[in-house]
């Protein structure tokens, strides 16, 4: 098993103390054809199953993708980065991401791809840890730790925020709500939606 897959699998149960209820709330807003990007070990799958949704899964790590195929043989699993989602335009009603945008290489490209694969009126649902605003004491801590944190945590950045990248797309912010405070890992949960027609 690769380094990232090993660390992710070991730490996931501890994260779920906080993330489990947030996943449930996020999945309750999903509808129709759904894609989970950065599916990891499949923790979003169970909560989507509770909503009667059998999602497609996208996961770039080969070990984690293989584990998803074994665990969910009836689901479609793509081994690919979120900057290049291998599906046609307008395929999904919902795209779900949980702790994903912090570690992708090009978050703007990810949101462009999310926009592309969503149908008009479709929603991008996300739960992400974010950077504090400039000048906040927590931001100084995040800035100081990020060079050490990033290589140890699979490329994860402490200072990103999904709303910083939405301007590269036609996605519209529905809401972004703080759901957990903290100096190092504050968490927001939100939704962007795809407009029914391009802006003029």
pLDDT given for residue 197 in this prediction: 57
Q: Is the pLDDT of residue 13 over 80?
A: no
Global pTM value = 0.90
E-state strands within 79-138 = 92-98, 118-129
Report d(CA 155, CA 151) in Å as an integer.
Answer: 5
Confidence of residue 199 (pLDDT cuts 50, 70, 90): very low
Spans of all domains in the chain: 3-194
What would the pLDDT profile of 131-174 be if each residue is shown by its tens digit? 999 999 999 999 999 999 998 888 899 999 999 999 989 999 99
What would the pLDDT profile of 39-80 be if each residue is shown by its tens digit? 999 999 999 999 999 999 999 999 999 999 999 999 999 999
What would the pLDDT profile of 101-137 be if each residue is shown by its tens digit? 999 999 999 999 999 999 999 999 999 999 999 999 9
Report d(CA 44, CA 24) in Å as an integer.
Answer: 8
- Mean pLDDT on 84-109: 96
Among positive and negative, which fits the CA dihedral 10, 186, 22, 103?
negative
pLDDT given for residue 124 in this prediction: 98
Report d(CA 10, CA 111) in Å as an integer.
Answer: 29
- Topology given in CATH for the domain delimited by 3-194: Rossmann fold (3.40.50)
């Amino acid at each position: 098993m690769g380094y990232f897959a090993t660390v992710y699998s070991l730490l996931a149960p501890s994260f779920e103390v906080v993330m489990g209820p947030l996943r449930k709330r996020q999945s309750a807003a999903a509808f129709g054809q759904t894609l989970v990007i950065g599916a990891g070990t499949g923790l979003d799958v169970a909560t989507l199953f509770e909503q009667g949704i059998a999602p497609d899964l996208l996961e770039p790590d080969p070990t984690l993708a293989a584990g998803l195929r074994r665990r969910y043989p009836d689901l479609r699993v793509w081994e690919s980065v979120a900057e290049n989602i291998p599906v046609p335009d307008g395929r999904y009603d919902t795209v779900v991401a949980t702790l994903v945008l912090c570690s992708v290489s090009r978050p703007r490209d990810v949101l462009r791809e999310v926009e592309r694969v969503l149908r008009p009126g479709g929603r991008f649902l996300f739960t992400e840890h974010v950077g504090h605003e400039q000048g906040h004491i927590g931001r100084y801590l995040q800035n100081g730790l990020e060079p050490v944190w990033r290589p140890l945590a699979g490329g994860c950045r402490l200072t990103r925020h999904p709303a910083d990248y939405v301007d590269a797309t036609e996605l519209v912010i529905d809401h972004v709500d703080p759901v957990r405070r903290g100096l190092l890992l504050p968490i927001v949960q939100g939704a962007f939606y795809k407009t029914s027609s391009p802006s003029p």
